[in-house]
A and B are shown apart, each in its own frame.
Chain A
Amino acid sequence: MRKIMIFLIAMMFATPVYAIDGNELLKKVDRNLNPDSYESYKKLINIEPNGKKKEFILFTVKKGKDKVAAIFISPASEKGRSTLRLGENMWLYIPNVGKPIRITSLQSVVGGVFNNSDILRLDYSSEYNVEKMEDIGDEYILHLKAKTKTVAYDKLKMWVNKEKLVPVRIECLTETFMLVKTIYYKNVTDFGGGIMRPAVIETDSPLYKGYKSVMIFAKMKARELNDEVFTITFMPNLDSLR
C-alpha cells in the first residue's frame, strides 16, 4: 500500500515537471527564432499550382511578447500598407484609406496560405502552453495548446531540432485536430549577432491544394524600440524606422 501511495504521489508530480520542461524548451525555441526585440525584412512569395508567383517585401519590428508591426515596401500596389499587432488586437493601415482599421488574425493581408498571425508572429510561448513533449531521437515533438480562444490555431504540433533548438516543422490544427496548414522551417542561417535560425519558412495547406507560400527572412538584428512605435498613431510613420 505504501509503495502504491509513493508511486501515485510521484505520478502526480511527474506530469507538471514534464510540462514545465516543455514550456522552458518552447521559450528557448522562441529566443532562437528571434531576439526579444528586433527588426527584420521578409519576402513573402505566394505560388499558385501553375507556378505563377506573387511577391511581397515587408519590414518588420517586434518588441517583447506581444508587440509586432510591419510595413510593406514592395510591390508598388501594397507599398506603405502597415499592420500592427498588440496581443490579439490587429490593425491594418492602407495609405489610401488613411486610417487604421481592425482586422482579425485569421484574415490575410496578402492572400495565399499565410494569414495575418503567421505574418505578425508573436512568440509561440506567449500564445501556447506545451501539453505534451515527445523525444523521437534527433527531434522533440511539442504538442501545444492555445492559451485563449482568440489564437488563430487551437493546437500546434511542433517538431524541434534537438541540436539547434529551432522548429523543423509545425502542423497547425483546429480544436477537432483538423489540419489547417503545415509550416516547414528551412535553411538555418547565421544572421550575425548570435542569431542562428531558419531563413526560409514554407507553408502549404489541405485547404489550398497545390498552393504554397514561402517567407524568406533577411537582415534580422536585435534592436531597441520605443513602445510608442507600436501604436496606431505611429502606423503611417513605420517606414521611418528603416
Chain B
Amino acid sequence: MKSIKFLTLILLLVPFLAFAQDDYSFDLSEFEKEMEKKPYSVGGYLEFMPKIFRLDHDAAFYKLNFYNRPEKDYLDEYDLKLSMKGGYEKGISRVYIRSSINTTESDIKSRTDVTIDEGYLSVKPSSIFNISIGKKALKWGKGYAWNPVAFIGRSKNPDDPDLALEGYIMASADYIKSFSGPLQTISVTPVVIPVYEHVNSEFGERNNTNYAGKLYLLLYDTDLDFMFLKGNSKPSRFGADFSRNITSNFEIHGEFAYIDDITKKTIDSAGNKTETTCDVKSYLLGIRYLAESDTTFICEYYRNGTGFTGEEIEGFFNLVDNGYNSYVSSSDETLLKKAKTMTEGSYGRQNPMRDYMYLRITQKEPFDILYFTPSITCIYNINDKSYSLSPEILYTGITNLELRLKAGFLTGSDNSEFGEKQNDYRIEFRARYYFDAANLFD
C-alpha cells in the first residue's frame, strides 16, 4: 500500500515538473511518417485513480454495506486500469476490439476484472451503408447526464458521463442518405439483440431475440431521432430526441421515452415486496451555453418515469434502519439481506428517484493557462432537495497525459437520496496516460 501512496505523490507532482522545449520548428519527413496509415491500430490508456471517502455512519447505505465490518471513518481505494483497443482493416472489412483490466484495492475489497467492452466485425461496402456483428456500445440520446432513450445501452454514470461503456452483442447496420434542402440527412439503424444464457444475459429476460431501431434526420438544422425497442427481454418502448443550435453558442436538446407495461418492485419498512405494472414516460430537457468568457453551462432537467416516489424510497431507508437495529440488538441479518436484494439496479442505482436537475459549469483555460479546465457539477434531487456538488480541475498540458483532481460532496437530510449515500464526501485523483502502440508492430 505504501508504494501505491508513493506513486500517487509522484503523479500529483508531475504537473509542476515544467519542462521547456525548443521553439516552433517542424520536420516534414517526420510529419510524412506520422501521416502514414497502417492497416492495424493498437492503443489505449493506463489509468491510476486513488480515492478517499469520508464515510457517513448514519447513512442507510453505510449501514447496509458496513454493518458486519469494523467501524471506519475513512476508506481508501486504489484503482488501476489498463484499457486497450485495437483494429485491423482489410478492404471493406474491419475488426475492432476494446477491452479493459481493472484492479481495485481497498480495505474492504480486492478484485480484478477483465472485460471485453467491445469486439465486432464491420463491413462497409460504401459510405452509405455498413453492417456490424459482435459486441458494440451504441449510445442513443442527446442528454449529457442522462439518456432515457438509450434503449440498447447501459446506464451511464451522471457523475462521470463521458466514461466509455461496455456494449451488448448485437447485429446492427447504418444506412445513410444525404439530400439538399431542409432535410439534409436521413440515416436508419436497425439492431438485433439476442438474449440467452451466455449472450447478453444481463440485458433482460433470457431466450428472446429483441429488435430495436433508430431513424435520424437532420431537418432544418435540427438533429432528430426516433427510436424503439421491441422484444420480450424488456418492456417495449419508443422514444424521440432532438438537438439544435438556437445561436452559435446556445444549444437546446431533449429526449422523450415511453415504456409500455413496466413492472416496478418496491419494498416497505417491514420488508414486504410489492410489484406494480404501469406505462411510464421519462423525459429530459437541456441546454448548453457558451458565454463570451469561455464558460460553458450545461443544464438539464430529467423526469425519471421509472423512479421511486419519496414514500417508496423512505420505506427502503426505514427497512435498512430497522434491519441495522435488529442486527445490532440480536445479530439478525434477515431484513438487511432483504434490503440488499433490492439495491442492484433498483434502490442502489444512480439517481433512483423521479425529478432531477443537473448543472455543470466549465471554465476553459482561466488566467490564460492553456489546457487547464476547472469545472463544478451539481446534481439536485428536486423531490427531496438533496444534492451532490463536485468541483474538479483537469490538466491536459502534457501530451498524452490527462490529470484530474475531483471531489464530491453529498448533502441531504435523513431519508433523502444523497443524505443516505455511503459517504459524506470523496476526493479522487485520476492520472491517465494514453499510448499508441501501432509502431511496435512495424
Task: For A43, give its contact among B31, B41, B139, B436 (CB under 8 Å).
Answer: B31
Contact between chains at B290 and A226 (CB < 8 Å): no
Contact A41:B400 (CB < 8 A) given known A106-B249, A150-B248: no
Contacts of B139 in A (CB 8 A): 97-99
Render A227-242 as a binary contact track against B, CB cut-off 8 A, 1 for contact.
Answer: 1111111100101101
Which residues of A in the span 74-103 have a Cβ within 8 Å of any Cβ on B? Answer: 74-77, 79, 86-89, 94-99, 101-102
Name the residue in A41, A47, A48, A88 with the highest tally of chain B Cβ atoms < 10 Å from its Cβ: A48
Contact A57:B35 (CB < 8 A) given known A89-B221, A96-B162, A102-B243: yes
Contact between chains at B436 and A74 (CB < 8 Å): yes
Report A240 CB to chain B, min CB distance, Å: 6
Contact between chains at B23 and A88 (CB < 8 Å): no
Report B157 CB to chain A, min CB distance, Å: 13
A126 to B399, CA, bound (A): 35
Chain A, residue nearest B290 (CB): A104
Contact between chains at A98 and B368 (CB < 8 Å): no
A88 to B436, CA, bound (A): 33
Contacts of B365 in A (CB 8 A): 111
Binds B, one of A2-10, A20-28, A135-143, A214-222: A214-222
Contacts of B9 in A (CB 8 A): none
Contacts of B296 in A (CB 8 A): 107
Contacts of A219 in B (CB 8 A): 35
Contact between chains at B35 and A234 (CB < 8 Å): no
Render B400-415 as a binary contact track against A, CB cut-off 8 A, 1 for contact.
Answer: 1110000000000000
Contact A51:B22 (CB < 8 A) given known A77-B434, A233-B174: yes
- By size class, the interface of chain B is 35 or more
Contacts of B88 in A (CB 8 A): none
Contact between chains at B399 and A218 (CB < 8 Å): no
Task: Answer whether residue A223 sits at the interface, using C-beta atoms and an 8 A cutoff.
Answer: no
Contacts of A95 in B (CB 8 A): 164
Task: For A50, give its contact among B18, B126, B400 (CB under 8 Å).
Answer: B18
Contact A212:B24 (CB < 8 A) given known A86-B184, A97-B162, A112-B370: yes
Task: Answer whether residue A125 sits at the interface, using C-beta atoms and an 8 A cutoff.
Answer: no
Contacts of B94 in A (CB 8 A): 240
Task: Answer whether residue B16 sits at the interface, using C-beta atoms and an 8 A cutoff.
Answer: no
Contact between chains at A240 and B89 (CB < 8 Å): yes
Task: Answer whether residue B337 sits at the interface, using C-beta atoms and an 8 A cutoff.
Answer: no
Contacts of B244 in A (CB 8 A): 102
Chain B, residue nearest A64 (CB): B180
Task: Answer whether residue B37 sits at the interface, using C-beta atoms and an 8 A cutoff.
Answer: yes
Contact A102:B26 (CB < 8 A) given known A50-B20, A149-B247, A219-B35: no
Task: For B288, give its contact among A98, A99, A102, A111 (CB under 8 Å).
Answer: A102
Contact A233:B187 (CB < 8 A) given known A48-B370, A228-B127: yes
A43 to B127, CA, bound (A): 26
Contacts of A54 in B (CB 8 A): 370-371, 397, 399
Contact between chains at A77 and B396 (CB < 8 Å): yes
Contacts of A211 in B (CB 8 A): 368, 370
Which residues of B in the span 18-34 have a Cβ within 8 Å of any Cβ on A? Answer: 18-24, 26, 28, 31-32, 34
A101 to B397, CA, bound (A): 23
Contacts of A47 in B (CB 8 A): 23-24
Task: Answer whether residue A68 sits at the interface, using C-beta atoms and an 8 A cutoff.
Answer: no
Name the residue in A94, A99, A108 with the highest tally of chain B Cβ atoms < 10 Å from its Cβ: A99
Name the residue in A43, A88, A89, A150 with the highest tally of chain B Cβ atoms < 10 Å from its Cβ: A89
Contact between chains at A43 and B26 (CB < 8 Å): yes
Task: For B399, give its contact among A41, A75, A151, A239 (CB under 8 Å).
Answer: A75
Contacts of A97 in B (CB 8 A): 139, 162, 164
Contact between chains at B247 and A150 (CB < 8 Å): yes
Contact between chains at B23 and A51 (CB < 8 Å): yes
A144 to B2, CA, bound (A): 63
Contacts of A212 in B (CB 8 A): 24
Chain A, residue nearest B138 (CB): A98
Chain A, residue nearest B369 (CB): A48
A80 to B101, CA, bound (A): 21
Report B242 CB to chain A, min CB distance, Å: 11
Report A65 CB to chain B, min CB distance, Å: 11
Task: For A52, give its contact among B21, B163, B247, B248 (CB under 8 Å).
Answer: B21
Contact between chains at B176 and A105 (CB < 8 Å): no
Contacts of B162 in A (CB 8 A): 94, 96-97
Task: For A76, give its contact among B22, B43, B127, B370 (CB under 8 Å).
Answer: B43
Task: Answer whether residue B251 sits at the interface, using C-beta atoms and an 8 A cutoff.
Answer: yes
Report A180 CB to chain B, min CB distance, Å: 11
A77 to B44, CA, bound (A): 8
Which residues of B in the span 214-244 have a Cβ within 8 Å of any Cβ on A? Answer: 216, 218, 221, 223, 243-244
A75 to B439, CA, bound (A): 13
Task: Answer whether residue B130 sits at the interface, using C-beta atoms and an 8 A cutoff.
Answer: yes
Which residues of B in the span 357-374 have a Cβ within 8 Å of any Cβ on A? Answer: 364-365, 368, 370-371
29 A-B contacts, Cβ less than 8 Å apart?
A50-B18, A52-B397, A53-B21, A74-B34, A75-B399, A77-B434, A79-B436, A97-B164, A98-B138, A99-B139, A99-B141, A101-B144, A102-B244, A104-B251, A106-B248, A106-B290, A112-B370, A149-B247, A149-B248, A152-B248, A218-B28, A226-B128, A228-B176, A228-B177, A231-B218, A232-B185, A232-B218, A239-B37, A242-B37
Q: A52-B18, A76-B400, A237-B130 are in contact. List 5 more A-B contacts (CB 8 A).
A: A53-B21, A55-B399, A59-B35, A96-B162, A218-B28
Closest 9 CB pairs of A and B: A227-B178, A77-B434, A76-B436, A76-B434, A233-B187, A98-B139, A150-B248, A96-B164, A228-B176
